[in-house]
């Protein structure tokens, strides 16, 4: 029973109810259909059909074989559809927008795996923050954007868009190495009430700054802002110089300095929600990229340098 054509003939006879109708549907002669059914019965060693005055009836063995034939043909159709999708999506372009710290960590990991799976698809990566990338996504300028949210009114409007939640990016305290709190295993945000703060972005326009300001407000104080920058590595340098302290998300601490002490925050630390946002249905290369992003997050979390800090 190694010839799929014989199974197709049996299914057609069962569907049409006669050799002549099956022959017409298959563009065979009626004797050819009879011969192929006879070959199939010889291969299986059982009788598959019974002739009756009103047509053809399947035996129990024939019913079982037709049932399995339907499953086999459905699986083959699924395989062909998947191969066609792969062939179609093996070419083209995938446009990604991401904010900087994700673009330097999880996104390259995902792109590397995506290029292995879809080497013919050109990947474009652009650095944009959510206030700019979400409107661009709605205009059709990108296929997927990596966003950060802090739960504020200034969060981008994602209504009507597909959202894949990727991770919570926890914030850590970054202190000068000689800071009095640098010897502690963990610190409370309220312990920093008398310190100057290094901040990323401006209040109301940057999710990271909003998260920091809200965390300080919940701890009962408004921080004194000594410096504002859009570069977390520059902020680490200023922290190292003793200008102040900072609350820095884990993705921004993939590269740290020896003269900066990074400490986890006590209790439930503030965090930003990282997600992949897309417009329409996630199919083709986009679906593959979403899988790659999920895998990249898992790999990053297993190997994240901040995991060692939190466990110390």
Q: How confident is the model at residue 277 (pLDDT cuts 50, 70, 90)?
A: very high
pLDDT, tens digit (0-9, with 9 covering 90-100), for 291-306: 999 999 999 988 875 5
Q: Percent of the chain having pLDDT more than 90?
A: 49
What is the C-alpha to C-alpha distance for residues 146 and 140, in angstroms, rounded to an integer? Answer: 15
Whether the CB-CB separation of 147 and 134 falls below 8 Å is answered with yes
State the pLDDT at residue 125.
96
Across the range 261-269, mean pLDDT stands at 93
Q: How confident is the model at residue 90 (pLDDT cuts 50, 70, 90)?
A: low
Give Cα separations from 129 to 31, 215, 225, 231, 279 (angstroms): 71, 21, 22, 13, 17
What is the C-alpha to C-alpha distance for residues 283 and 299, in angstroms, rounded to an integer? Answer: 23
What is the C-alpha to C-alpha distance for residues 26 and 269, in angstroms, rounded to an integer? Answer: 68
Give Cα separations from 52 to 17, 56, 157, 211 (angstroms): 10, 6, 68, 79
State the pLDDT at residue 14.
86
Whether the CB-CB separation of 130 and 256 falls below 8 Å is answered with no
What is the C-alpha to C-alpha distance for residues 130 and 156, in angstroms, rounded to an integer? Answer: 6
Helix (H/G/I), strand (E/B), else coil: 292: helix
**Alpha helices per DSSP H over 140-283:** 207-218, 232-240
User: Of 88-92, 124-128, 262-266, 287-291, where does mean pLDDT reach its minimum?
Assistant: 88-92
Instruction: Give the CATH fold of the 4-88 domain.
Output: Arc Repressor Mutant, subunit A (1.10.10)
What is the C-alpha to C-alpha distance for residues 111 and 166, in angstroms, rounded to an integer? Answer: 15
Any idea what DSSP says for residue 119? T
Helix (H/G/I), strand (E/B), else coil: 279: coil
State the pLDDT at residue 307.
46
pLDDT at 2 over 70: no
Q: Percent of the chain having pLDDT more than 70?
A: 91
What is the C-alpha to C-alpha distance for residues 152 and 162, in angstroms, rounded to an integer? Answer: 20
Q: Which residue has the higher pLDDT, 86 or 101?
A: 101
* Domain 93-311, CATH: 3.40.190.290
Whole-structure pTM value: 0.66
Q: Which run of H or of E encompasses 30?
A: helix 30-44
Of residues 202, 190, 252, 199, the one with CA closest to residue 226: 199
State the pLDDT at residue 204.
45
The domain ranges of the chain are 4-88, 93-311
State the pLDDT at residue 246.
96
pLDDT, tens digit (0-9, with 9 covering 90-100), for 13-46: 888 888 888 888 888 888 888 888 888 888 888 9
State the pLDDT at residue 116.
93
What tokens does 211 get?
């998260």
pLDDT, tens digit (0-9, with 9 covering 90-100), for 193-229: 999 999 987 654 467 888 999 999 999 999 999 999 8
pLDDT at 244 over 90: yes
State the pLDDT at residue 84.
67
Across the range 262-272, mean pLDDT stands at 92
What is the C-alpha to C-alpha distance for residues 24 and 31, in angstroms, rounded to an integer? Answer: 12
pLDDT at 91 over 90: no
pLDDT at 178 over 90: yes
């Amino acid at each position: 029973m190694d010839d799929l054509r014989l199974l197709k003939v049996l299914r057609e006879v069962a569907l049409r109810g006669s050799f002549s109708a099956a022959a017409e549907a298959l563009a065979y002669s009626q004797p050819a259909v009879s011969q192929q059914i006879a070959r199939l019965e010889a291969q299986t060693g059982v009788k598959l059909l019974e002739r009756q005055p009103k047509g053809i009836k399947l035996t129990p063995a024939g019913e079982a074989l037709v049932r399995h034939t339907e499953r086999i043909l459905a699986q083959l159709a699924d395989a062909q559809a998947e191969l066609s999708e792969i062939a179609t999506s093996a070419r083209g372009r995938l446009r990604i927008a991401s904010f900087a710290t994700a673009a330097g960590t999880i996104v390259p990991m995902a792109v590397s795996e995506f290029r292995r799976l879809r080497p013919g698809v050109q990947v474009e990566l652009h650095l944009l923050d959510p206030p700019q990338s979400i409107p661009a996504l709605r205009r059709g300028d990108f296929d997927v954007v990596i966003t950060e949210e802090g739960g504020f009114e200034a969060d981008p409007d994602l209504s009507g868009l597909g959202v894949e939640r990727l991770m919570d990016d926890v914030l850590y305290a970054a202190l000068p190495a000689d800071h009095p709190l640098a010897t502690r295993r963990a610190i409370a945000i309220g312990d920093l009430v008398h310190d100057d703060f290094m901040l990323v972005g401006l209040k109301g326009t940057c999710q990271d700054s909003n998260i920091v300001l809200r965390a300080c407000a919940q701890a009962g104080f408004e921080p004194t802002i000594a410096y504002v920058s859009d570069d977390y590595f520059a902020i680490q340098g200023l922290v190292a110089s003793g200008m102040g302290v900072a609350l820095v998300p884990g993705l921004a601490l993939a590269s740290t300095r020896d003269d900066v002490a990074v400490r986890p925050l006590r209790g439930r630390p503030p965090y930003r929600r990282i997600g992949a946002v897309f417009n329409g249905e996630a199919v083709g290369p986009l679906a593959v990229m979403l899988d790659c992003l999920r895998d990249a997050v898992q790999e990053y979390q297993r190997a994240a340098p901040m995991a060692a800090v939190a466990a110390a």
